[in-house]
Amino acid sequence: MSGKVITIAQQKGGSGKTTLAANLAIAFSAMNLRVALLDTDPQGSLGRWAMTRLEGTKEPDILFSTASAWGVSYELTKLRSQADIILVDTPPKVDSDLRPALREAKLVLVPVATSQVDLWATESVLELADREQAKALIVLNRARAGTRLAKDIAEAITAGRAQTVVGSRVAYAETLGRGLSVLETAPSGPAAKEIKELAGEILAMIA
């Protein structure tokens, strides 16, 4: 079976793309799926996470690769034969360089942090995904439960939004720096529950 590509994209930096990619990778792996990560962001944060993980566990349980914009299609052709799910982390920008990663995607995951600026930044990503005929799913990310702003942003997104809301939790930052995921450090905690629920939603959409 050819692997399915999930591209994580957002114009605004700080939306949590890399954190979602890393944690979803472990969630899918726990479902006995073969998982690969493709980092196309020059900042290389996902690669740093993957290398830290390898140094700590010595077990290459997640495939990892990098590519510049023009090399995305070529790299994904290889990864599709090796993995069931390929998660693509992209730079915080929306231009022609992003198109190959969108064009190859079975699903485009668009994280939106709880600010009006983040919501505005989402529009251009969705427009570009639509041009490439790519299905998109908006994820309310780094949300602060019970705040008026989180409620307003959730209400502003009337379609194409994941039911799962990912909270603003220290656990995500702490585990990322150790090359781990919240599913490994606190498998019964609220963060792990969110990630598992989001992974389930995504699988249902790409089935």
195: which residues sit within 8 A by CB, 6+ positions away?
Answer: 23, 24, 26, 27, 166, 181, 182, 183
Residues in a beta bridge with 126 = none
Token couple for 98: 């992003």
The SS3 of residue 130 is helix
Cβ pair 189, 153 in contact under 8 A: no
- Hey, what domains does the chain have and what are their CATH numbers? 4-206 (3.40.50.300)
Token couple for 11: 């114009």
Token couple for 187: 């498998």
pTM above the 0.85 mark? yes
pLDDT value at position 119? 77
Cβ pair 59, 179 in contact under 8 A: no
Per-residue pLDDT tens digits for 153-168: 666 665 688 999 999 9
Q: pLDDT truncated to tens, each residue of the chain (207 aa)? A: 589 999 999 988 888 999 999 999 999 999 999 999 999 999 999 999 999 998 987 667 899 999 987 899 999 999 999 999 999 999 988 777 899 999 999 999 999 886 777 777 788 888 888 999 999 999 989 887 666 666 666 666 656 889 999 999 999 999 999 999 999 999 999 999 999 999 999 999 998
pLDDT value at position 96? 79
